[in-house]
Amino acid sequence: METTKKYNPETYKTPTGSQLNCKGWVQEAALRMLLNNLDPEVAERPEDLIVYGGRGKAARNFESLDLIIKALKDLEEDETLVVQSGKPVGILPTHKDAPKVLISNSQLVPNWANWKHFDELEKKGLMMYGQMTAGSWIYIGSQGIVQGTYETFSAIANKDFDGSLKGTLTVTAGLGGMGGAQPLAVTMNDGVCVVAEVEQWRIDKRIKTKYLDESIEDMDAAIDRALEAKKNQERVSIGVPCNAVHLLERLKERNVIPDVLTDQTSAHDPLIGYVPHQISLEESNVLREQDPDKYEELSYESMYRHVELMLELQKAGAITFDYGNNLRARAQEKGLKNAFDFPGFVPAYIRPLFCEGKGPFRWAALSGDLADIAETDRVIKELFPENESLMRWMDMAQERIAFQGLPSRICWLGQGEREKAGLAFNKLVKEGKVKAPIVIGRDHLDTGSVASPNRETEAMLDGSDAVADWPLLNALVNTAGGASWVSLHHGGGVGMGYSIHAGMVIVADGTDDAEKRLKRVLRNDPGMGVIRHADAGYDIATDTARKHKLDIKERLK
Amino acid sequence: METTKKYNPETYKTPTGSQLNCKGWVQEAALRMLLNNLDPEVAERPEDLIVYGGRGKAARNFESLDLIIKALKDLEEDETLVVQSGKPVGILPTHKDAPKVLISNSQLVPNWANWKHFDELEKKGLMMYGQMTAGSWIYIGSQGIVQGTYETFSAIANKDFDGSLKGTLTVTAGLGGMGGAQPLAVTMNDGVCVVAEVEQWRIDKRIKTKYLDESIEDMDAAIDRALEAKKNQERVSIGVPCNAVHLLERLKERNVIPDVLTDQTSAHDPLIGYVPHQISLEESNVLREQDPDKYEELSYESMYRHVELMLELQKAGAITFDYGNNLRARAQEKGLKNAFDFPGFVPAYIRPLFCEGKGPFRWAALSGDLADIAETDRVIKELFPENESLMRWMDMAQERIAFQGLPSRICWLGQGEREKAGLAFNKLVKEGKVKAPIVIGRDHLDTGSVASPNRETEAMLDGSDAVADWPLLNALVNTAGGASWVSLHHGGGVGMGYSIHAGMVIVADGTDDAEKRLKRVLRNDPGMGVIRHADAGYDIATDTARKHKLDIKERLK
Ligand SMILES: NC(=O)c1ccc[n+]([C@@H]2O[C@H](COP(=O)([O-])OP(=O)(O)OC[C@H]3O[C@@H](n4cnc5c(N)ncnc54)[C@H](O)[C@@H]3O)[C@@H](O)[C@H]2O)c1
Ligand SMILES: NC(=O)c1ccc[n+]([C@@H]2O[C@H](COP(=O)([O-])OP(=O)(O)OC[C@H]3O[C@@H](n4cnc5c(N)ncnc54)[C@H](O)[C@@H]3O)[C@@H](O)[C@H]2O)c1
């Protein structure tokens, strides 16, 4: 089914500047963000259309990609392009306040919602795995996750170490699209970080983009360097080209107990993701093709051992948490009873933020001009001077974040704040203070957009972890409010069967129409999260709902 | 969690006439259709808020019902009410072309999408089962299904018996909200029908509403009567107060082979649905409360035996098909290997219609006035004089269908036809030829709105049975197009884990805005079905897509 066409960076270059290639800025934004997702600086493997997260793709195949591009260029202001698992299937009449693109990726009827069935469908060319922001065209490179990762490690620093990771050692694994942000987030919190990564080129890529400081091939040498740095309260991150399991085994043998322990290998996908420790990387690449069942068996065994080692180090004193890749569930599927003895990062650190409607607000300058992002940075700092951690983040981001593809920024904003920022950006465009419109989106890992019982909705107060009405309502509400494009995904982050989530992007093109849409969408989108958490019984959310007039009973009193 | 409040037919009486209780006709339509769903003439058990289909409810509990009513009365034209599994959770700012209500019912993350987890959540008051049109407020009583059932039995008559069921015996079971339409559909096709139903009151109710002709308590007497009628080419339907399994066993013992054999007991729900044959109805009601696990065990055993008997009668010559209740899957779960040896009704009879965008188009007169429906009937007959089977249906419907609740009508219309009908109805309202607006909807069992691998999407040409992107896109597209309310459901018809589907309702209030919305929504809604079937490789659908300009490649040529 796949066309033989190859990725050509010239053909698929992201347009920049203030000239339109489409019939309006909303369509243009979709076009630029789709191509930006595939920019070699941004995507993990553009030649396979893979953006990040194992096999998270932006389009089903090159034929579909070409057709989407054509459709976006042809799309009128009162039409909507419909995309089914990365393939454009229809252009339908709607109206100017309706989304210009509607996307659903890798959704399966629950009893068939497993990797085996998905793989069959994918082989037949009927499906695509969209991860979260890959298939919904709002990925902005590792930068996107740095802020979330930074928030997590700040929360750890605050909760467990008096506000800083100075003089502590964090051990983790995986330097992929998401995992690559870990070392930077740790050093931003002044700590030492050691990361196992099986592929040397990923380590090199992270060093090039300034997310990682050093690469040390010898495991023991790397551990020694880290211990030295910890003692000297240095802030440094070290990549080690090895399997996570081997690194943890060595730490255990040497009785080196990390202060903080986690993992971001692509455990959500036991076949095209996690690399088992029993064989070499080269052998694993061959085995995956020749005997996928055997590969999965090794993979599951390896993840069992991986979690076992994490539990042992936890017992020895490491603050241990699952970082959203579903590693614990894999080990449990394989029979490890106490796999869930260490918590997920959301209930441990993130949920209180969700209750205030806080989440990963991101934006990109469609002009491609760095000065435009500088302008938006200035606006954010002006708007929220009282938010100290936000101010600290903005400073560090400006100083340390290397842009990939279209210049972009991310920061966590809460209920009320997102509207303010969106409207301010629209004003910048209107007044010509930036050279082209600004596109605003968010990760699917957000307060109101996801049901994922092993990650974002783990251990909800009322037991509603698996209720998936919420992300679906989020997508419907954003469609009704007039977001620019809306998407629904299955299996993002944690793999098939484990999650349902919704994406949203909205363009600030400086028009009055956009102003109205921004006001609605940036209120309703986090609002659904506040409502969801208030419904589950979280007091912070109840207060936030009341404060922001989201409480239906108050309204109907 | 449940409030103790009882259903009171006076308090919850459906408003009729041309006076508004809400701030606009769209909100008013939602209010009237919600209350109509619960009208004792329409609903199976209004005292439990159960509309049809086992435990398909219209609202989570009485507290939620009251709050929804209040919200609808308070809702502005540019606002949207959000309903999560039958509970109103928010009123959010949108715009006049956005749906006034967005609903998601009983959606679960796939790995938790089973009855056991659902039951736990329901007990905690966190969920509700919405079936299809119960939780989306567009159920119109058994009448709604008569047309679909009529279409199925006509298709059988055409395919297997030269256009009529005269002189044939159809055996089935279940006289619930849906199943109750079977005897009438058979006699409308001039045949003889025997129906097993465990509850006498259901038989009586169907006789009262003219869906069933007779009730004969003694099984043998009933069979004798049927054989006599078959010989005399009479057209008659007979209800037998017994378990389906017992009736089939007796038929087998007496070597009476039905010409047509099917079943519509609520097999989708092994606990609060199917009644096992090993114990009496009274015992089953006690056991369900006291030992639900034991009940389910008996239920599964019974369904195993049920399917076994159907397979035996099929071998003996009966044209046998599954009528959408997932009975075969239950038997298979219990270990019956060849349970799927008889086909589902969709691939056998309905799919060719879906490929033309045909499906269950329905409408109700919000005035409550029979003359309004007569007016719409006239319009339909004027619009499509060349469609013979439609003409035959309209005549019989007018003659034989007893209205329940608000006067309503249903007929199957295809791509292009639905728009025409919708616009003509809007004109009737505009010109004052009817006393109040007309509300238009459809069943979720439609061409583009459902993924249900054991029913609507069984045995798709390309193997895409389980792909659930389609119903989700359908809901998003209808939200974007400006439907009046849009819903997403899980588990309707075939039970938890087995289906995802979308509902859509749109109000023809005579305004120019409504005209534009009707044009879009009634084109796009079946259009998504045509696109879905064309994508799967059905030639009829490809032709229909081309004819109606739904082909994206043609458009972008
Ligand atoms: N917590 C969050 O917020 C969050 C967000 C997004 C994704 N995730 C999850 O984190 C995981 C990583 O995401 P990604 O985008 O970085 O994926 P990716 O596929 O781009 O990268 C995974 C990396 O892990 C490496 N790897 C695989 N097995 C290994 C092993 N046994 N030892 C050492 N290295 C190994 C791979 O070589 C690869 O570089 C995914 O499961 C993803 O779903 C978490
Ligand atoms: N084919 C379709 O188009 C279609 C449409 C909707 C629903 N359905 C399915 O058809 C089934 C029936 O729907 P409904 O709305 O009528 O449900 P319902 O719960 O209102 O009625 C089911 C009836 O079956 C009876 N019954 C249960 N077990 C029995 C047994 N063993 N023997 C005899 N009678 C028994 C019950 O007493 C009840 O009257 C459901 O599973 C539903 O999902 C099919």
Atom of ligand 2 nearest to the CA of B275: 28
Average pLDDT of the residues of chain A: 95
Cα angle value A191/A54/A483 (rounded, 5°): 90
Reference B215, options B197, B192, B231, B188; nearest CA is B197
For A534, nearest residue in chain B (alpha carbons) = B89
Does ligand 1 come within 6 angstroms of the Cβ of A44?
Answer: yes
Does ligand 1 come within 6 angstroms of the Cβ of A211?
Answer: no
What band does A4 get if pLDDT is binned at 50, 70 and 90?
low
3-class secondary structure, B198: coil
CA A419 to chain centre: 21
Token couple for A312: 């042992």
Question: Which residue's C-alpha comes closest to atom 2 of ligand 2?
Answer: B324
What CA–CA distance (Å, rounded) separates A247 from B55?
54
Reference A145, options A53, A65, A80; nearest CA is A53
DSSP B218: S
Helix spans in B137-264 (H): 142-160, 182-188, 200-208, 219-231, 244-253
Reference B29, options B469, B344, B355, B485; nearest CA is B485
What CA–CA distance (Å, rounded) separates A174 from A197?
5
Nearest to B464 among A121, A496, A497 (CB): A121
Measured between CA atoms, how close is A106 to chain B, in angstroms? 7
CB atoms A74 and B556 under 8 Å: yes
CB atoms B520 and A89 under 8 Å: no
Q: What is the pLDDT of residue B3?
A: 52
Residues of B within 8 A of A91 (CB-CB) are 552, 555
**How remote is the CA of residue A174 from the centroid of ligand 1, in Å?**
5
The backbone torsions φ and ψ at residue A377, rounded to the nearest 5 degrees and listed phi first, read -55, -45
Q: What is the pLDDT of residue A39?
A: 96
Dihedral over Cα of B285, B287, B289, B293: its sign = negative
Residues 6+ apart with CB under 8 A from A57: A48, A49, A50, A51, A86, A128, A129, A130, A131, A134, A135
Pocket test for ligand 2, best of B238, B265, B450 (most atoms within 8 A of CB): B265
What CA–CA distance (Å, rounded) separates B306 from A62?
50
Does ligand 1 come within 6 angstroms of the Cβ of A485?
Answer: no
Substitution target in A106, A119, A472 with the highest count of B β-carbons within 10 Å is A472
Residues of A within 8 A of B102 (CB-CB) are 473, 476-477, 480
Dihedral over Cα of A260, A265, A268, A271: its sign = negative
Atom of ligand 1 nearest to the CA of A179: 16
Substitution target in B476, B490, B528 with the highest count of A β-carbons within 10 Å is B476
Token couple for B60: 């989570």
Residues of B within 8 A of A120 (CB-CB) are 463
Residues 6+ apart with CB under 8 A from B331: B303, B304, B306, B307, B308, B339
**How remote is the CA of residue A324 from the centroid of ligand 1, in Å?**
9
Token couple for B266: 């609520």
Nearest to B91 among A107, A490, A555 (CB): A555
Strands A319-320 and A236-240 come out as: unpaired
**How remote is the CA of residue B149 from the centroid of ligand 2, in Å?**
13
In order of their start, the domains of chain A are 143-343 (3.40.50.10730)
**How remote is the CA of residue A427 from the centroid of ligand 2, in Å?**
58
Q: Which residues pair with A260 in a beta bridge?
A: A170, A319
Residues 6+ apart with CB under 8 A from A4: none
Are the CB atoms for B310 and B283 separated by under 8 Å?
A: no
Token couple for A415: 């209920």
Are the CB atoms for A55 and A35 separated by under 8 Å?
A: no
What band does A177 get if pLDDT is binned at 50, 70 and 90?
confident
Q: Which ligand is nearest to the CA of A142?
A: 1
pLDDT in tens, B186-202: 999 999 999 999 999 99
3-class secondary structure, A103: strand
Beta strands in B425-471 (DSSP E): 438-442, 450-451
Q: What is the pLDDT of residue A178?
A: 86
Question: Which residue's C-alpha comes closest to atom 39 of ligand 2?
Answer: B176
CB atoms A498 and B74 under 8 Å: no
Are the CB atoms for B399 and B459 separated by under 8 Å?
A: no
Are the CB atoms for B107 and A467 separated by under 8 Å?
A: yes
Token couple for A39: 């920019």
Q: What is the pLDDT of residue A2?
A: 47
Residues of A within 8 A of B531 (CB-CB) are 82, 89-90
Q: Which ligand is nearest to the CA of A346?
A: 1
Does ligand 2 come within 6 angstroms of the Cβ of B54?
Answer: yes
- CB-neighbour burial class of residue A531 (10 A; exposed 0-12, middle 13-18, buried 19+): buried
pLDDT in tens, A20-70: 999 999 999 999 999 999 999 999 899 999 999 889 999 999 999 999 999
What band does A532 get if pLDDT is binned at 50, 70 and 90?
very high
For B93, nearest residue in chain A (alpha carbons) = A520
Residues 6+ apart with CB under 8 A from B387: none
Reference B473, options A390, A320, A393, A103; nearest CA is A103
Nearest to A470 among B74, B84, B553 (CB): B84
Substitution target in B96, B103, B111, B531 with the highest count of A β-carbons within 10 Å is B111
Does ligand 2 come within 6 angstroms of the Cβ of B452?
Answer: no
pLDDT in tens, A458-478: 999 999 999 999 999 999 999
Substitution target in A22, A85, A467, A519 with the highest count of B β-carbons within 10 Å is A467
Residues of A within 8 A of B555 (CB-CB) are 74, 91
Token couple for B443: 């069943």
Q: Which residues pair with A45 in a beta bridge?
A: A50
- pLDDT tens for chain B, 557 residues long, are 445 578 999 999 999 999 999 999 999 999 999 999 999 999 989 999 999 988 999 999 999 999 999 999 999 999 999 999 999 999 999 999 999 999 999 999 999 999 999 999 999 999 999 999 999 999 998 777 888 899 899 889 988 998 899 999 999 999 998 899 999 999 999 999 999 999 999 999 999 988 999 999 999 999 999 999 999 999 999 999 999 999 999 999 999 999 999 999 999 899 999 999 999 999 999 999 999 999 999 999 999 999 999 999 999 999 999 998 999 999 999 999 999 999 999 998 999 999 999 999 999 999 999 999 999 999 999 999 998 778 889 998 998 888 999 999 999 999 999 999 999 999 999 999 999 999 999 999 999 999 999 899 999 999 999 999 999 999 999 999 999 999 999 999 889 999 999 999 999 999 999 999 999 999 999 999 999 999 999 999 999 999 999 999 999 99
Residues 6+ apart with CB under 8 A from B432: none
Half-sphere exposure for A101 (CA within 13 Å, toward CB): 36
Helix spans in A161-291 (H): 182-188, 200-208, 219-231, 244-253, 281-290
CB atoms B470 and A84 under 8 Å: yes
pLDDT in tens, B328-342: 999 999 999 999 999
CB atoms A109 and B497 under 8 Å: yes
- Structural element, H or E, at residue A450: strand A450-451
C-alpha distances out from residue A24 to A28, A71, A79, A367, Å:
6, 13, 11, 14
Dihedral over Cα of B496, B497, B498, B504: its sign = positive
Q: What is the pLDDT of residue B137?
A: 98
The backbone torsions φ and ψ at residue A445, rounded to the nearest 5 degrees and listed phi first, read -70, 80
Q: What is the pLDDT of residue A337?
A: 96
Count of other CB atoms within 10 angstroms of residue A550: 27
For B82, nearest residue in chain A (alpha carbons) = A473
CB atoms A473 and B528 under 8 Å: no
What CA–CA distance (Å, rounded) separates B403 from B409?
9
Measured between CA atoms, how close is B109 to chain A, in angstroms? 5
What CA–CA distance (Å, rounded) separates A517 from A509?
11
pLDDT in tens, A540-556: 999 999 999 999 999 99
Token couple for B101: 């209500």
What CA–CA distance (Å, rounded) separates A499 from A466?
8
Question: Which residue's C-alpha comes closest to atom 40 of ligand 1?
Answer: A266
Does ligand 2 come within 6 angstroms of the Cβ of B65?
Answer: no
Pocket test for ligand 2, best of B266, B288, B450, B494 (most atoms within 8 A of CB): B266
Residues of B within 8 A of A482 (CB-CB) are 94-95, 98
Pocket test for ligand 2, best of B264, B274, B328 (most atoms within 8 A of CB): B264
